[in-house]
Structure formats: structure tokens, C-alpha cells
Amino acid sequence: MEKKRLVLSLLLPAMFMLVSYHVQAQDAGTRSQEENSRLDSLADAYKQKDMAEDERRQDTDVISNLKSEKRETKAKAREAQRVEEEASDAARESKSAYRKEKKAQKSREQADKQSKKAAKARAVSDQN
């Protein structure tokens, strides 16, 4: 019994080494034509799937970039419109202030003329 156990314990590692050597020695040339074509078709399918995913990812990136550019453009347009409105309001206020100042100057000139006339009239009335 012990001999049997000893033989089995030595035989088992020897068989493992023999099988592993045979598996390692096997190369791609020993595969059949059907296996090679099946593996090639699987590899092609994976490549196509990866290319489709890459293309989809690129498309989403492009769309994302375009959307962000659109948002930025809208924001710039709103800012430009706001600036334009502010400039228009400022121009309107400036024009109004110019008109008011011109009117005030005219009123002051008329008041000066009237005060000179009044002064002359007082001088004439004082002499009489």
C-alpha cells in the first residue's frame, strides 16, 4: 500500500509536467482552419464594436462641444445686447441732458436780458 501511494505521489507530478509541456509546445499552426476563421471573425466583430463605440463617443463629444459653443454664443449675444441697450439709454440720457442744458442757458440769457431791461427801466424811472 505504501509503495502504491509512493508511486502515485511520484506519478502525479510527472503526469502534470508531461501534460503542461505538451500544452506549452502547442502552437497556433495546430489549430484547424475552422477555428482560425472563427477566431478571426470574432476578432473582427470586436474591432467593429470598438470602432463603433469610439465613433459614438466621438460623436457625443462633438455634439457636446457644439452645445457648449452654442451656449457661449448665446451668452455673448445676450451680453452684447445688454451693452447695446445700456449705450442706447446713455445716449438718450445724454441727448436729454444736452437739450435741458441748452434750454437752461437760453432761459438764463433771457433772464439776464430782462434784468438789464428792468435795470434800465428803474434808472429811467428814478431820473423822472
The string of pLDDT tens digits covering residues 9-35 is 777 777 777 777 655 555 555 667 888
What is the share, in percent, of the chain residues with pLDDT greater than 70?
Answer: 91
User: Structurally, how many domains does the chain consist of?
Assistant: 1
Is 59 inside a domain boundary?
yes
d(CA 38, CA 48): 15
**Could you tell me the three cell numbers for 84?**
447695446
The C-alpha angle 59, 64, 70, rounded to 5 degrees, equals 125
d(CA 10, CA 3): 11
d(CA 109, CA 98): 16
pLDDT for 26: 56
pLDDT for 37: 85
Is 28 inside a domain boundary?
no
Check the CA dihedral 100-102-106-112 and report its sign: positive
State the DSSP H helix or E strand holding residue 63, giving kind and residue range, or none if neither.
helix 33-127
- pLDDT band at residue 69, thresholds of 50, 70 and 90? very high
pTM: 0.46
Is 18 inside a domain boundary?
no
Is 51 inside a domain boundary?
yes
d(CA 123, CA 57): 98
Is 10 inside a domain boundary?
no
The DSSP letter of residue 27 is -
Parent domain of 61: 33-117
Is 86 inside a domain boundary?
yes
Mean pLDDT confidence for 62-91:
97
Is 54 inside a domain boundary?
yes
d(CA 30, CA 66): 53
The C-alpha angle 40, 43, 49, rounded to 5 degrees, equals 140
